[in-house]
Structure 1
Amino acid sequence: MEKTKGINRAQFLAGAAAVGVAGAVLPAGGAGATGRGETGGRGGLTRRGVVYTLGAGETPATAWSADRMRADLRAIRDDLHADTVDVTGDGVERLTATAAEAAELGLHIWLQPTLGDVPERDILDHLAETGRFAERLRRQGASVEFSVGCEFWLFVPGIIPGDTVLERIENLQNGTVDRARMQRRLARFTAKAAALGRKVFHGRLSYASAPEIDHVDWNLFDVVGIDYYSYFPQRKDYVRELRQHLRWGKPVAITEFGTCTYRGAPEAGGMGWDIVDYDKTPPEIKGDPPPVRSERTQAAYLLDLLAVFESMNLYAAMVFEFLTADAPHRPGDPRHDLDMASYGIAKAVQDRPGDPDTGWHREPKEAFHAVARAYRRAGQRQ
């Protein structure tokens, strides 16, 4: 078993909520050209996918499982009708096993290592080993692109002061960070990661950015990657906002987009998950009364954004995310229905509700079915 250092999801979300930072909200921008970067087809997105997050798991029950991964990827291909899977997380063994299985299933692979809170050298070694495997897959004929990482300002120590993600977020939020120095350090590490990515992988290269913080030199990459959590009542405002990223004349990939599963979640943007009090045991949904669960709200938001991305002929869009195993659904118990704070389009249902070590199974949400219909129709048109 390889040794990696992941980030405890509950602790991260609780700490981020305390300082009021999460997600990426894009500033308004100007006009540009097409974001497809490819020719052929009848317009619309070229790649339609979902983010599949890997990690060590919060409990033995939610730990990574090869059997579960294989079943999930088959569901992504056959039931969700996605042609692309964004394989992301930490642990080279998990990343490479999942990417290899996706290749066997004929899925396009967007492979993105995200190791955080360890020394820079370890992050780069993790990147290089994953990238070398991606190159082997590519040479064997798999359809694969490689992203060197996600939001380095957050995960890589040394760009913002602080030994952990939570410390870095707090320092950024309290105004003690020298922004000019932060940008220099961020640019330096991003350039280093891009150069290493080019060295080990010879296909198309990208990075998943939070544009409000990541001022990326996209000349370093082949695809502009955007984590997108904006909300507008009218679709035209999404188009206006996204156009700024077309000015590079390169394919634009929405590397994350999504919302949580309750009324009002889209308006909360990247802070949609901030409805859980993790200081309580067990964690519970905040509010009196708590938010109202609404799978329809989540589904409608995803369909609205997919329509925007299709209309702009962007290159790719990946729904965030397939499943959040450590945020289980508790039917009939809104105070402890942690799935309301999940961006997953499938929900985890425990065999014994409330027992963190129990087995569980996944069930599709309304969003899963809605996205599946949209992906199927789009695939039939092309």
Structure 2
Amino acid sequence: MISRKTFLKSVAGAAVMAGLGGGTAGAAPADSRAADAAGPRLGKLRGGVCYDTGVLHSASEPLSRVRWSRGQLEREIGMIADLRCPSITAFGSDIGRLTETTAAALRRGMEVYVQPRLYDHSQEEILEHMAETARKAERLRRGDNVKFVTGCEHFLFTPGIVPGENFLDRINNMDQIPEAEWPNIIRRFRQFMARAVEVTRREFGGRITYGAADDADAVWNDWSLFDIVGVDYYAYFPTDAEYTTDLAKYRKWNKPIMILEFGCCTFTGAAQAGGMGWDILDYPDDPEKPATVKPGFVRDEHEQAEHIARMLRVFGQEKVQGAHLYSFISPDSPHHPTNRDYDYDIASYTLLKTLRTRHHDEASPYRTEPKQSFHAFRRHNC
């Protein structure tokens, strides 16, 4: 999730210089649905959600979702099923948690897009992790009920493609990369993705896709290697017609389009901030001190709810295969009901706000409450 403005400025002309182009549908696994290429079946598009199982940023840190239990998982997956979500994306680093989440969602009749994420590890480690996750996902697959997502926005989260020691460095470097370097970046990205597809196909027999950033690696990617075009889509346009024009660039591959992420944060102006809405927290130099919400940002559950409802309607009109809201819950971004400076939920994309017993303790027990977006999402789906 990075701003559309930064992408457009950084990669202007790079795709042409690197010789990128469209393609045609390749051979898909035998259990794929040919009708999906034209979008969802009759009826409105019901939204799904992303479910965060916790991401490992480095070997020295815990998973981003510290607290985890089977009971909590079952309750939250049950809530998602009650929203009549046809599918979810289960993402994270712990393969056991991913497998557990996939099985829980399948028991409730939902399809699952399994997406391993392992930020800022070596490419070999990421590929080994991907292969093992694909192996476990294949054991749960029955026909087309499980799809595999070969990671998320690797040009930012995987070393060796864009310069930078970690993904925050790489985000900050985007504006400073010379235009002449972009063909090399795209070449390195495509080489890594070809390896990702190879290790995945070796272990997984179902349909595969990739969580690509709109207007960046979604455009650079060679989608002929995949069965589904997967896009993390945070673009904002004033009119629906502009979305139609913008999404048309992904139709040239003649493959189903899956919106693997969309949504906005919970403050006034968040819809236009899109994929950079999270960047409203100030982190002090002293790691022992908590972050604070930057001045000027006002909590606004109504804007988030309206934007989510609008995007679900737009995606239905565009007849994409599906759309997954980012995200259902983020226990690492708790709400503070009385101190706006520590209300990290303002910077979250979630349907539920998390309230910790001990606000600044990541291992603290928590409870959840629905936001206005939760009710808007339910009204659309039900």
- TM-score bracket, normalised by the shorter chain, equals 0.7 to 0.9
Q: Secondary structure at 1:64's aligned position in 2?
A: coil
- The answer for the alignment partner of 1:135 in structure 2 is 138
TM-score, normalised by the number of residues in structure 1: 0.84
Q: Deviations over 1:326-360 (max 9, x none)?
A: 11111132222110000111110122445555321
Q: Within the alignment, does 1:218 sit opposite 2:223 as a pair?
A: yes
- The answer for the alignment partner of 1:48 in structure 2 is 47
- The answer for the alignment partner of 1:189 in structure 2 is 192
Q: Within the alignment, does 1:22 sit opposite 2:2 as a pair?
A: yes
Indicate how the Cα distance of structure 1 residues 102 and 40 shifts in structure 2: closer, same or farther if over 3 A, else same.
closer
Q: Which amino acid aligns with 1:41?
A: R
Q: Secondary structure at 2:265's aligned position in 1?
A: coil
- The answer for the alignment partner of 1:283 in structure 2 is 291
Q: Deviations over 1:153-190 (max 9, x none)?
A: 11211112333222323333322582111111100011
- Cα deviation, residue 307, structure 1: 0.6
Indicate how the Cα distance of structure 1 residues 323 and 313 shifts in structure 2: closer, same or farther if over 3 A, else same.
same
- Cα deviation, residue 36, structure 1: 4.3
Once residues 60 and 152 of structure 1 are traced to their aligned partners in structure 2, the CA distance between those partners, rounded to angstroms, is 18
CA contact (8 A) 1:106 1:142 kept: no
- The answer for the alignment partner of 2:81 in structure 1 is 77
Once residues 140 and 150 of structure 2 are traced to their aligned partners in structure 1, the CA distance between those partners, rounded to angstroms, is 16
Q: Which amino acid aligns with 1:261?
A: T
- The answer for the alignment partner of 1:374 in structure 2 is 380
Q: Deviations over 1:122-144 (max 9, x none)?
A: 111111111111111114x6711
Indicate how the Cα distance of structure 1 residues 51 and 348 shifts in structure 2: closer, same or farther if over 3 A, else same.
same
TM-score, normalised by the number of residues in structure 2: 0.84
- Equivalent of 2:316 in 307, 310, 316: 310
Give aligned pairs, total.
348
Give the stretch that moved more between structures: 213-222 or 264-273.
Answer: 264-273
Once residues 242 and 39 of structure 1 are traced to their aligned partners in structure 2, the CA distance between those partners, rounded to angstroms, is 13
- Equivalent of 2:338 in 329, 332, 337: 332
- Equivalent of 1:180 in 161, 179, 183: 183
- Cα deviation, residue 152, structure 1: 1.0
Q: Within the alignment, does 1:114 sit opposite 2:97 as a pair?
A: no
- Matched ranges for 1:26-105 at <5 A: 36-37=36-37, 41-45=41-45, 48-55=47-54, 62-78=66-82, 80-105=83-108
Q: Which amino acid aligns with 1:358?
A: S
Once residues 241 and 40 of structure 1 are traced to their aligned partners in structure 2, the CA distance between those partners, rounded to angstroms, is 19
Identity of aligned residues (%): 39
Q: Secondary structure at 2:37's aligned position in 1?
A: coil
- The answer for the alignment partner of 1:249 in structure 2 is 254
Indicate how the Cα distance of structure 1 residues 35 and 331 shifts in structure 2: closer, same or farther if over 3 A, else same.
farther
Once residues 62 and 174 of structure 1 are traced to their aligned partners in structure 2, the CA distance between those partners, rounded to angstroms, is 35
- Cα deviation, residue 305, structure 1: 0.7
Q: Which amino acid aligns with 2:71?
A: D
Once residues 377 and 80 of structure 2 are traced to their aligned partners in structure 1, the CA distance between those partners, rounded to angstroms, is 11
- Cα deviation, residue 23, structure 1: 5.0
CA contact (8 A) 2:54 2:63 kept: no
Give the stretch that moved more between structures: 348-357 or 300-309.
Answer: 348-357
Indicate how the Cα distance of structure 1 residues 248 and 44 shifts in structure 2: closer, same or farther if over 3 A, else same.
farther
- The answer for the alignment partner of 2:203 in structure 1 is 200
CA contact (8 A) 1:35 1:314 kept: no
Indicate how the Cα distance of structure 1 residues 313 and 51 shifts in structure 2: closer, same or farther if over 3 A, else same.
same
Q: Which amino acid aligns with 1:249?
A: N
Q: Secondary structure at 2:253's aligned position in 1?
A: coil
Flag structure 1 segments of 5+ consecutive residues without an equivalent.
Answer: 1-20, 377-382
- Cα deviation, residue 72, structure 1: 0.8
Q: Which amino acid aligns with 2:307?
A: Y
**RMSD of aligned alpha carbons:** 2.7
- Cα deviation, residue 37, structure 1: 1.3
Give the stretch that moved more between structures: 268-277 or 158-167.
Answer: 158-167
CA contact (8 A) 1:35 1:246 kept: no
Once residues 209 and 55 of structure 2 are traced to their aligned partners in structure 1, the CA distance between those partners, rounded to angstroms, is 25
